Amino acid sequence: MSSAFYISQFKPPLTINIHDLSIVNLELARNRVAKGEKVKISVTVRNEETETENATVNLYCNLTLIGKLEVNNLKPYTVRKLSLELDTADLDVGKYTILAEIPSLPVEAEIEDNRVTKEFTIYIPYHDPAIINVSSPVSEALIGDIVPIEVTLKNNGTEVESFSVEVYANSTIIGKINILHLSPAKIHKKTLNWNTTGFKEGKYIVKAEIPPLLTEENTENNYKYETITLLQPLPPSMWNLFIILLIIILLLLLFITIFILLKKEKKKS
């Protein structure tokens, strides 16, 4: 620290008055701000020396003055936190530097700590949840089966998203999946179990769809399809007949095998 100070003319006693304010912290509520949002800027000032001080903290955004924060009656060796909100509505998209600066006090001991900078970015928010795949481990199932439908989702936008996914078999909705707080660039898989009881035999187009979000521009990736065929299960009487025929065939095969073995034994003897 510099030794700059002054000595009062009154004596005795000898008095040393030292002035020194410093900015110990400059904090932004977020370092990425959607255009049009407000960002809170907080400045912490400390009185490093022996005198109660009054000063002004000037705040700049890319060297443009955006506000002044008054520090009044800051006692020696104490700190004070001040704040200001910056409206980004009139700022362009891009990177910005916030500068907090205390103009030098008369006969200030140290001025290197009178200014601090922080950077932040303004961006255009973009909403784009997407379905990147719909699949099932089976392509055919019997009516009455539970068919798992796996939906793979990705957040292609810039914001954390919560939304619902509607799943259809042809035009009949078979369920909804709720997605909460999906972060940008994250991929998430969810499975819906389709109870096929009551559906008719035939091919079904299974579609998973995200209803468009407010201000969402790209909706082409909000849906995907999968084809699943439902078959009519055999009636119980047909199953019984099938089992009987199977038993008869097995018995015949057994009889033929025994007959061939016995014939071979006779030849050997």
Structure tokens that stand for 84 in this block = 């200001």
Question: CA-CA distance, 151 to 164, in Å (whole number)?
Answer: 12
Whether pLDDT at 13 is above 80: no
pTM score, whole prediction? 0.64
Instruction: Read off the pLDDT of residues 18-34 as tens digits, 9 standing for 90 and up.
Output: 889 999 999 999 999 99
Whether pLDDT at 238 is above 80: no
Sheet holding 79-87, edge to edge: 21-28, 38-47, 79-87
Task: Say which residue, 13 or 252, is predicted with more confidence.
Answer: 252
Instruction: Read off the pLDDT of residues 148-195 as tens digits, 9 standing for 90 and up.
Output: 999 999 999 999 999 999 999 999 999 999 999 999 999 999 999 999
Lowest mean pLDDT among 105-114, 183-192, 255-264: 255-264
Listed as own residue / partner, the contacts of 75-80 with beta carbons closer than 8 Å and 24 or more positions apart are 75/47, 76/47, 76/49, 76/50, 76/51, 76/52, 77/46, 77/47, 77/48, 78/46, 78/47, 79/24, 79/44, 79/45, 79/46, 79/47, 80/44, 80/45
SS (H, E, C) 141-190: EECCCEEEEEEEEEECCCCCEEEEEEEEECCEEEEEEEEEEECCCCEEEE
Question: CA-CA distance, 70 to 83, in Å (whole number)?
Answer: 10
Lowest mean pLDDT among 70-79, 93-102, 257-266: 257-266
CATH topology of domain 6-123: Immunoglobulin-like (2.60.40)
Name the CATH superfamily housing domain 129-231. Answer: Immunoglobulins (2.60.40.10)
Question: CA-CA distance, 171 to 204, in Å (whole number)?
Answer: 9
Element (H, E) at 246: helix 236-268
Whether pLDDT at 5 is above 90: no
Q: What's the number of CA atoms in the CB half-sphere (13 Å) around residue 176?
A: 6
Instruction: Read off the pLDDT of residues 116-127 as tens digits, 9 standing for 90 and up.
Output: 999 999 999 999
Q: What is the pLDDT of residue 265?
A: 75
Domain ranges of the chain: 6-123, 129-231
